[in-house]
A and B are shown apart, each in its own frame.
Chain A
Amino acid sequence: DGGITQSPKYLFRKEGQNVTLSCEQNLNHDAMYWYRQDPGQGLRLIYYSQIVNDFQKGDIAEGYSVSREKKESFPLTVTSAQKNPTAFYLCASFGTGREKLFFGSGTQLSVL
């Protein structure tokens, strides 16, 4: 069953702590994206990767980091530098040819 898997569904962060959100896809898509969603707001782009071992900052990259060591995986780390991390985080992948963006089910991050 092909798709995008995000884990965990809920995550809590303590002050000064880094946390990592997982995103895995088995759609053989080249491009992967991380979006942040706040209540009443649209989806804002954090980072994206068009190909393995390469990624670019989106509109709100400060306080976040990513890696793309494998085509299937694009983890997002929310660092302690991100002062307002509480949000719903969405991972997506975009397949060339079909040219459609598909989303995972999201991770809700909250601060303790």
Chain B
Amino acid sequence: GENVEQHPSTLSVQEGDSAVIKCTYSDSASNYFPWYKQELGKGPQLIIDIRSNVGEKKDQRIAVTLNKTAKHFSLHITETQPEDSAVYFCAASRSGYALNFGKGTSLLVTP
């Protein structure tokens, strides 16, 4: 089955800096790659996703890149703000199958 590895497990950046979280996947048939943000005591919220026919997608300060050949994808957050502090999860799946999640990255943005 699919195996998703996520790094780093913790990340601390200063407000205004950029943050990058990386994930790798094992199943070359995976074609859907979402990113979730989870605040303490809440359910994960979908923040951005990308499909295998696209190499990059951007939504304001958040962007995701996908390298199908290397089987890795990354989340980029620019101009970080304290409210970006949360746990971020990547996931991967092929059509019709359940998502497989990475173990999460705890991001801390310090003022």
- On A, residues with C-beta under 8 Å from B are 4, 6, 33, 35, 40-43, 45, 48, 58, 90, 92, 99-106, 108
Instruction: Provide the residues of chain A in CB contact with B68, threshold 8 Å.
Output: none
Cross-chain contact A103 with B43 (CB below 8 angstroms): yes
B49 in contact with A100 (CB, 8 Å): yes
Within 8 A of A (CB), among B9-58: 9, 32, 34, 36, 41-46, 49
Chain A contacts of B73 at CB under 8 A?
Answer: none
Task: Tell whether, in the assembled complex, residue A100 and residue B46 are in contact, meaning their CB atoms are under 8 Å apart.
Answer: yes
CB-based nearest B residue for A90: B43
Total interface residues in chain B, CB < 8 Å: 21
Identify which of A6, A92, A99, A100 gathers the most chain B CB atoms within 10 Å of its CB.
A99
Known A-B contacts A103-B44, A105-B43, A106-B41; A42 and B34 likewise in contact (beta carbons under 8 Å): no
Chain B contacts of A90 at CB under 8 A?
43-44
CA of A6 to CA of B42 in the docked complex: distance in angstroms? 11
Q: Report the bound CA distance from A41 to B92 in whole Å.
A: 16
Given contacts A43-B101, A101-B99, contact A106 B42 (CB under 8 A): yes
What's the Cα separation between A90 and B3 when bound, in Å?
A: 20
**Which residue on B lies nearest to A40, using beta carbons?**
B103
Q: Nearest chain-B residue to A105 (Cβ)? A: B43
Q: How far is the CA of A99 from the CA of B99 in the complex (A)?
A: 11
CB distance B46 to A104 under 8 Å?
no
